[in-house]
Amino acid sequence: MSAHRTVATARRVLAQLRHDPRTIALLLVVPAMLMTLLAWILDDANWQRYAPGLLGIFPMLVMFLVTSVATLRERTSGTLERLLSMPMSKADFVFGYALAFGLLAIVQAIIVGGLCFVALGLTMRGPTSLVLMVAVLDGLLGTALGLFVSAFAQTEFQAVQFMPVALLPQFLLCGLIVPTDDLPSVLRFLSALLPLTYAFDAMQKLAQNEVVSSGFWVDVAILVAMALALLTAGTATLRRRTR
């Protein structure tokens, strides 16, 4: 792996995005719009209850979609094959994407978080910087998942269809709708295997406690481990030789 090639790849991915202002707008504006809508339809108690969790869900959703489509395009257009026939390691490729979309996740988190805190009256007791960190980690998890899933899709249409498969169950089981403690034991076990559960929990902890607990750091550690594991699994789906 080389830092030089990873950075070059990240810059190239960002250059592609720069030529596509509509996608950037969708990435940044849609989550902000949805949060505004939510603040509007919920009373304050419910808004304070649901918003922190959603702050952790949007980055994953959005990054999942862009990554799965972008990497699928690389697979089908032959550019991935070209890159892998050059002095480029698979890790350069994967971490290049992670770096580019990680940066995008930061911008997204700043915009959406800023909107919620400043204009929409959301209060979270924990440090804002940690809210940002969890959002970015979440975005990375979305990137990792998208990369992994793109290996199983043959068309962009399929890649998009994987979204409900990969993300909806996580959304239902993460604790947002029913607290994980109240889930039937099989589902509670399942929810413990899913990354979004920890992202949601970490956001909840930041919302409720001023003091950052060790439980929060356990969540963060699990998120980091899962993101790395998924990125590694994503790397394994890249093949230099094909049939």
Partner 1 sequence: MNDHAVQLTNVVVNRNGILALDDVSVGIGFGRITGLLGPSGSGKSTLMRAIVGVQIVASGSVTVLGLPAGAPELRSRVGYVTQAPSVYRDLTVRENLSYFRNILGTRNADVDRVLEAVDLTSVQSQMVKTLSGGQEGRVSLATALLGKPELLILDEPTVGLDPVLRRDLWALFHTLADSGITILISSHVMDEASRCHDLILMRDGKLLAQGTERELLLQTSTDDIESAFLHLVDGHT
Among 3, 15, 37, 193, binds partner 1 (CB under 8 A): 15
Instruction: Output the smallest distance, CB 137 to partner 1, in A.
Output: 28
4 contacts partner 1 (rule: CB under 8 A): yes
With CB under 8 A as the contact rule, the residue among 1, 3, 20, 155 that binds partner 1 is: 20
Phi-psi bin for 2: left (phi > 0), alpha (psi -120 to 50), beta? Answer: beta
Please report whether residue 240 would count as binding partner 1 according to CB under 8 A: yes
Range in contact with partner 1 (rule: CB under 8 A) among 35-43, 75-83, 170-178, 181-189? 75-83
Residue type at position 120: L
Contacts 24+ apart (CB under 8 A), 155-161: 155/72, 155/76, 156/69, 156/72, 156/73, 159/68, 159/69, 159/72, 160/65, 160/68, 160/69
In the complex with partner 1, the residue whose CB is nearer, 14 or 212, is 14
Tell me if 170 sits within 8 A of 140, measured CB to CB: no
Q: By CB under 8 A, how many residues form the interface with partner 1?
A: 25
Please select the residue that binds partner 1; options are 41, 129, 181, 241, rule is CB under 8 A.
241
Task: Compute, in degrees rounded to 10, the torsion defined by CA atoms 58, 64, 67, 72.
Answer: -150
Residue 203 corresponds to which amino acid?
M
Q: Are 82 and 25 in contact (CB under 8 A)?
A: no
Instruction: Decide whether 93 or 148 has the Cβ nearer to partner 1.
Output: 93
Q: Is residue 19 involved in binding partner 1 (CB under 8 A)?
A: yes
Our finding on whether 22 is near partner 1 (CB under 8 A) is: no
Stretch in the footprint of partner 1 (CB under 8 A) among 37-45, 74-82, 189-197, 225-233:
74-82
Residue 152: phi, psi to the nearest 5? -105, 0
- Looking at residue 137, its amino acid is L
In this complex, which beta carbon is closest to partner 1, that of residue 12 or of residue 188?
12
When the beta carbons of 5 and 205 are compared against partner 1, the nearer one is 5
Q: How far is Cα 145 from Cα 68, in angstroms, rounded to an integer?
A: 8
Q: Is 155 in the site for partner 1 (CB under 8 A)?
A: no
Name residues contacting partner 1, limited to 76-135 (CB under 8 A).
77-79, 81-88
Residue 212: DSSP 8-state: P
Half-sphere exposure of 203 (CA within 13 A, CB side): 31
8 is a site residue for partner 1 (CB under 8 A): yes
Which residues contribute to the site for partner 1 (CB under 8 A)? 4-5, 8-9, 11-12, 15-16, 19-20, 77-79, 81-88, 240-243
